[in-house]
Structure 1
Amino acid sequence: MDIIKNRRSRRKFTSKKVSLENMKKIVEAGTYAPTGMNKQDNIIVAISDDSTIENLLKSIRKHLNNENYNGFYNCKNIILILSPHDNRNRKFDCGCIMQNMMLKACELNVANVWINQFYDSYDSKHIRKFLESIDIDDDYEITCALALGHSEETPKIKPNKFKTKFI
């Protein structure tokens, strides 16, 4: 329960990359997430290559028509979750996969933040061109992404704002 309570989004990363060993552990955690109808048809792409991350950032900037967009927060690693465009459970699958990976990253002391600007980018020629460059089929879209790195700061734990009710 401590991992769940202590997980926080981090948006300030150092220049140090996450080790390949830890990236593999984080991705593996994602593969154990439940998926709608147990389809398991998502693709998880872990990127540590600086030029590939830069190309992805350029693509999303063009898609958003915002050259100043820095929603990756200068991360040195990013994980994309791709889903078939016709999978009606893709948002839910992505949420489960992301939660598993975020909790595993927290356990490994790897800072992370969910990036969701890709969700409406299926028809974007800029994003499609990037996906082609990494050999992703046309019927897949980026459903969400996880920026990872080593944190420059330790966030304060704040109380939850959720309301609960037991009947």
Structure 2
Amino acid sequence: MTHLSALIEDQPEDMLEEDAAPIQEARVWSGSGWTARVIKNEDDEGWAVAMLRDGEQEPALVGPWTMGRDKKNPKPLDANAFNTLVKAASEVIRRHEQQRHAMLHKSVYVTANATTTKVMLDITPDEDNPSALLSAFDELGNQLAQVRVEPSFKLNAVSAAAWIESDFRAPN
């Protein structure tokens, strides 16, 4: 036992977190980078489960949790429930990241004079200095133009066509 604790003390702190034994208790279960915690639902008489990804401050998912047989206490967490919760919380994170990417990176195709041009808007969010780049590419993927625009610029087929027709001058 002493030998094992000496080994643990010698490990870098970040390795200790990764190698820590998972918690498998009735109301707290951890592993695979996630912690599930059954909590009292403040809105009613029931229970909820919060899924927290390691290193995050806010839960990725909070949902209702099943009552136990006594209709008073929560049903205990188990491996199957935890795995299902990890899958659901991971899906919520994935959809959130996809939505954020779609908001920050937009593209449209405009066909004019028998040529198709791909116009892209890439927004860089920043509290102090947000910015955006408007770019045009030919059918072979060669960049035709790139200008800075306001992050609030609305990219659509009409605005892209107007930009192309203005010989790629920066839109107002």
Higher helix share: 1
Give the TM-score taking structure 1 as reference length. Answer: 0.22
Computing the radius of gyration from Cα coordinates, the structure with the larger value is 2
* More relative contact order, 1 or 2 (CA 8 Å, 6+ apart): 1
Give the TM-score taking structure 2 as reference length. Answer: 0.21
Higher strand share: 2
